[in-house]
């Protein structure tokens, strides 16, 4: 069996997967947590809080497994892309873990655009200058916290910090490095120009590795705590988006993954170097030989939950679904920009903020919620158009992510806006399953992902009339975006 650790944006999970990449019933654990947010755009969490949660879920799964824990042959880790923390000379955290949702480095991203050619950096690193990526965060920290900058010996993701605590050494996977904005994607080396501009030394970053470079032999306290895990390979942490694609069966260019969890993304896996990366999209790695192209939204399930709590809308999920479904598409007359946590794809305006236009005395909270869900679908439609240009052979859209799969109404909305069938994945935890599949491949448990079933559920067919209505309303969002986001950004830089 494979023990998976899935460190997401709202929860830490652990589970045991068998050789068919199926989660063993009853052998999983979960701990929820929340990021600390600040009025100036901060989103952070303490590294040792996360580490303790990881230890707790491992403890729980091993206790549930009992003697079966001796059958564990490897540990696979899926964790969030674009997170950053700094460590001092004693390997102590000097900073919290900064999230992709932290927008305090927006001005730093704009300053980097003035110093470097973003187009060539985008082609080389697959990333743009944006507060979600590490170059902007590092520049911001150097300028705003010079004492912390001077004392920091190592910069890393939480997945690397987990390794450091457990093994005393770190490896940054090609997958995780590819989402930093610091990696030369084709050479699979840290980008020299980017490091020079940031005054960052290569030794301040972890050595690069892949699935052929697992760690073994836990430090003594953890070897005693988890004897069944002491001698098995622990693979370097992989990006959660890459794992999600693999886990939901979107491991080749014929399938596009549409995921809505806390955030959202639309991605396609390539087993070749991309010919070009359309402006507005990014390109990362699954591993050294596989690429992942797509776009990401900062506002997915987090928008849904914020609206439900803030507007005090019905708590019964089934009743809420029925209320949303009963509304006629766009009859609310609202136009929404859903940027509570700034914008990523395709406009990459880190300082963008949410807006609702068209409110009247007659507007009800449920209408605001429906309009907001539609607005997220419009953003995905823009990503889909760009992906089709780069990967025209993609023919199926597979939906995953807890926020989307729990809402058939929202999934149907996606199909109607996209004008294409959307197939719901029947995989409960795509990211952890993907990590298990990649570990099974690395340990020769499987040679081809097609060897295991990739179950799917409901097929949501688009309604042509609703698609036509949404296409017209999407233009209203474009006009509002141009008026508020582009104009505002230009006046405040």
- Of 240, 265, 292, the residue at which a domain comes to its end is 240
Q: At 103, is the secondary structure helix, strand, or coil?
A: coil
pLDDT band for position 314 (50/70/90)? confident
Residue 314 or 304, more confident:
304
pTM for the model? 0.92
Q: Whole-angstrom Cα distance, residue 337 to residue 327? A: 20
436 part of a folded domain = no
In this prediction, residues 77-103 reach a mean pLDDT of: 96
Q: What is the tens place of the pLDDT at every residue in 3-50?
A: 999 999 889 999 999 999 999 999 999 999 999 999 999 999 999 999
Cβ pair 50, 157 in contact under 8 A: no
Catalogue the long-range contacts made by 358-361 (C-beta closer than 8 Å, 24 or more residues apart). 358/332, 358/333, 358/334, 359/334, 360/333
pLDDT of residue 489: 56
Q: Is the pLDDT of residue 392 over 80?
A: yes
Residues 260 and 378 in one domain: yes
Q: At 357, is the secondary structure helix, strand, or coil?
A: strand
Residues 410 and 297 in one domain: yes
Q: At 70, is the secondary structure helix, strand, or coil?
A: helix
Residues 182 and 265 in one domain: no
433 part of a folded domain = no
Residues 210 and 112 in one domain: yes
- Across the chain, what does the average pLDDT equal? 95
Angle of helix 301-310 versus helix 365-390 axis, rounded to 10: 170
The CATH number of the domain holding residue 353 is: 3.30.420.40
- Of 220, 240, 260, the residue at which a domain comes to its end is 240
Residues 254 and 306 in one domain: yes
What is the DSSP annotation of 112-140? Answer: HHHHS-HHHHHHHHS--S-TTSHHHHHHH
Residue 227 in tokens: 């004897």
405 part of a folded domain = yes
Cβ pair 443, 489 in contact under 8 A: no
Query: DSSP H helical segments within 199-333, as ranges?
Result: 220-225, 240-247, 301-310, 317-325
Cβ pair 37, 95 in contact under 8 A: no
Q: What is the tens place of the pLDDT at every residue in 479-489?
A: 999 999 876 65
User: Cα 202 to the chain's mean position, in Å?
Assistant: 25
Residues 232 and 320 in one domain: no
Give 431's DSSP letter.
H
pLDDT of residue 368: 97
Residues 48 and 107 in one domain: yes
448 part of a folded domain = no
Beta bridge partners of 265: 259, 296
Residues 167 and 268 in one domain: no
pLDDT of residue 493: 39
Residues 158 and 15 in one domain: yes
Residues 27 and 114 in one domain: yes
pLDDT of residue 488: 61
Query: DSSP H helical segments within 226-363, as ranges?
Result: 240-247, 301-310, 317-325
Q: How many domains does the chain have?
A: 2
In this prediction, residues 107-116 reach a mean pLDDT of: 95
56 part of a folded domain = yes
455 part of a folded domain = no
pLDDT of residue 189: 97
pLDDT band for position 491 (50/70/90)? very low
Residues 254 and 347 in one domain: yes
431 part of a folded domain = no
Q: What is the tens place of the pLDDT at every residue in 240-258?
A: 999 999 999 999 999 999 9
Residues 57 and 200 in one domain: yes
- Of 185, 208, 240, the residue at which a domain comes to its end is 240
The closest of 139, 87, 152 to 111, measured between CA atoms, is 139
285 part of a folded domain = yes
Domain that residue 257 falls in: 250-426+463-493
Q: What is the tens place of the pLDDT at every residue in 347-374?
A: 999 889 999 999 999 999 999 999 999 9
Q: What is the tens place of the pLDDT at every residue in 165-206?
A: 999 999 999 999 999 999 999 999 999 999 999 999 999 999
Q: What is the tens place of the pLDDT at every residue in 401-426?
A: 999 999 999 999 999 999 999 999 99
Report percent pLDDT > 90 for the chain: 92
């Amino acid at each position: 069996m494979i023990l998976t650790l899935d460190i997401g944006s709202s929860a830490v999970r652990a589970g045991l997967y068998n050789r068919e990449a199926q989660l063993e019933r009853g052998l999983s654990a979960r701990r929820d947590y929340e990021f600390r947010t600040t009025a100036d755009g901060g989103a952070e969490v303490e590294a040792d809080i996360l580490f303790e949660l990881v230890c707790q879920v491992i403890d729980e799964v091993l206790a549930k497994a009992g003697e079966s824990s001796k059958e564990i042959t490897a540990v696979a880790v899926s964790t969030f892309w674009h997170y950053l923390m700094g460590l001092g000379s004693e390997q102590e955290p000097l900073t919290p873990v900064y999230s992709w949702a932290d927008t305090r480095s927006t001005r730093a991203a704009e300053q980097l655009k003035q110093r470097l050619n973003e187009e060539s950096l985008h082609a080389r690193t697959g990333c743009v200058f944006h507060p979600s990526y590490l170059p902007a965060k590092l520049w911001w920290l150097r300028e705003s916290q010079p004492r912390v900058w001077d004392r920091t010996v190592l910069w890393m993701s939480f997945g690397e910090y987990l390794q450091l605590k457990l093994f005393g050494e770190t490896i940054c996977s090609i997958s995780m490095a590819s989402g930093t904005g610091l990696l030369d994607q084709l050479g699979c080396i840290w980008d020299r120009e980017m490091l020079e501009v940031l005054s960052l030394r290569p030794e301040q970053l972890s050595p690069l590795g892949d699935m052929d470079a697992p760690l073994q032999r836990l430090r003594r306290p953890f070897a005693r705590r988890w004897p069944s895990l002491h001698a098995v390979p622990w693979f370097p942490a992989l990006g959660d988006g890459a794992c999600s694609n693999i886990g939901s069966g979107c491991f080749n260019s014929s399938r596009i993954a549409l995921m809505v969890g806390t955030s959202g993304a639309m991605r396609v896996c390539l087993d070749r170097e991309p010919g070009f990366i359309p402006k507005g999209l990014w390109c990362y790695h699954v591993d050294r030989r596989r690429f992942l192209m797509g776009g990401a939204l900062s506002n997915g399930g987090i928008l849904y939950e914020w609206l439900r709590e803030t507007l005090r809308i019905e708590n019964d999920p089934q009743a809420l679904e029925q209320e949303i479904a009963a509304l006629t598409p766009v009859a609310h007359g609202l136009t929404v920009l859903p940027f509570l946590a700034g914008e990523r794809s395709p406009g990459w305006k880190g300082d963008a903020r949410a807006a609702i236009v068209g409110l009247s005395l007659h507007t009800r909270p449920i209408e605001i919620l429906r309009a907001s869900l539609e607005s997220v679908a419009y953003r995905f439609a823009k990503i889909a158009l760009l992906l089709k240009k780069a990967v025209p052979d993609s023919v199926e859209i597979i939906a995953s992510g807890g926020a989307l799969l729990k809402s058939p109404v929202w999934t149907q909305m996606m199909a109607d806006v996209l004008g294409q069938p959307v197939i719901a994945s029947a995989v409960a935890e795509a990211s952890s399953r993907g990590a298990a599949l990649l570990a099974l491949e690395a340990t020769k448990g499987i040679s081809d992902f097609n060897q295991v079933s990739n179950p799917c559920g409901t097929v949501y067919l688009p309604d042509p009339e609703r698609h036509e209505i949404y296409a017209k309303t999407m233009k209203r969002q474009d006009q509002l975006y141009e008026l508020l986001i582009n104009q505002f950004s230009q006046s405040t830089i």
